[in-house]
């Protein structure tokens, strides 16, 4: 089974009368358990590609399949359900919900569809926070955590629903060197232990080196 397959993906944005072609026929395959770096300079189309692969944006053209199932023609509700159960997201800025605790933030993706934080959800959220070394911050409000801690909470949240694929957009972009290294080590560990696939968008060669393989995006194409 192929985890993710993109064929001839194009994406253009219209500003006034001008069409800007950002992706120009991208082909890409991701296998289960792979940790892949998506690298390239700023403006190369990495983030747009990541959004399309993460089902957050529709391509202008091309075909996308996830776990061998075509993703075209699905409703917003169906796409949301797939994102919730099979995907995890980590962004450059943690984007935690500031009015909730670390545990609640981690539990959120499972609690919302379930209608509440059950004992099972709570236990898993606590286990994940322990895994990212934040056991002592479980009941801390998200806004009281440091930058590195917030990003680790975001990683734990991405893993809450045991996703097959985690998409990370510059996950260390807002962190210092020490925290960057810690986060990458954590992602690698999760990849090894859980066989969770990672697609990490980065322009940092050091981060790219940590991955199994590297895909370069240059001017909207895979180089």
Contacting residues toward other proteins, per CB under 8 A: 51, 54, 56-57, 76-77, 80-85, 87-89, 91, 95, 97-100, 108-109, 111-117, 157-158
The CB-of-209 to other proteins minimum distance in angstroms stands at 27
The CB-of-80 to other proteins minimum distance in angstroms stands at 5
Question: What is the distance in angstroms between the CA of the first residue and the CA of the last residue of the chain?
Answer: 25
The CB-of-123 to other proteins minimum distance in angstroms stands at 17
Q: Which is nearer to other proteins, 76 or 178 (CB)?
A: 76
With H, G, I as helix, E, B as strand and everything else as coil, classify residue 30: strand
Q: Which is nearer to other proteins, 16 or 115 (CB)?
A: 115
Q: Which is nearer to other proteins, 51 or 197 (CB)?
A: 51
Q: Which is nearer to other proteins, 99 or 133 (CB)?
A: 99
The two structure tokens encoding residue 189: 């560990």
User: Nearest-CA neighbor of 128 among 118, 138, 142, 119?
Assistant: 138
The CB-of-48 to other proteins minimum distance in angstroms stands at 9
């Amino acid at each position: 089974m192929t985890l993710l397959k993109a064929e001839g993906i194009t994406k253009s944005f219209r500003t006034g009368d001008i069409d800007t072609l950002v992706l120009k026929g991208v082909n890409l395959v991701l296998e289960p358990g792979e940790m892949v770096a998506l690298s390239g300079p700023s403006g190369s189309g990495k983030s747009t590609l990541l959004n399309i692969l993460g089902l957050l944006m529709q391509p202008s053209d091309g075909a996308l399949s996830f776990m061998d199932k075509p993703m075209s023609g699905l409703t917003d509700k169906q796409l949301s359900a797939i994102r919730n159960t099979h995907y995890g997201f980590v962004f450059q800025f943690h984007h935690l919900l500031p009015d909730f605790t670390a545990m609640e933030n981690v539990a959120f993706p499972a609690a919302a569809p379930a209608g509440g934080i059950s004992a099972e959800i709570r236990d898993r959220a606590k286990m994940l926070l322990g895994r990212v070394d934040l056991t002592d911050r479980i009941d801390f409000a998200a806004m009281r955590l440091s930058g590195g801690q917030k990003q680790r909470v975001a990683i734990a949240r991405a893993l809450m629903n045991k996703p097959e694929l985690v998409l990370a957009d510059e996950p260390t972009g807002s962190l210092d060197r020490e925290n960057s290294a810690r986060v990458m080590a954590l992602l690698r560990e999760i990849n090894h232990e859980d066989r969770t696939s990672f697609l990490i968008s980065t322009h940092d060669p050091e981060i790219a080196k940590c991955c199994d393989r590297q895909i370069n995006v240059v001017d909207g194409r895979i180089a």
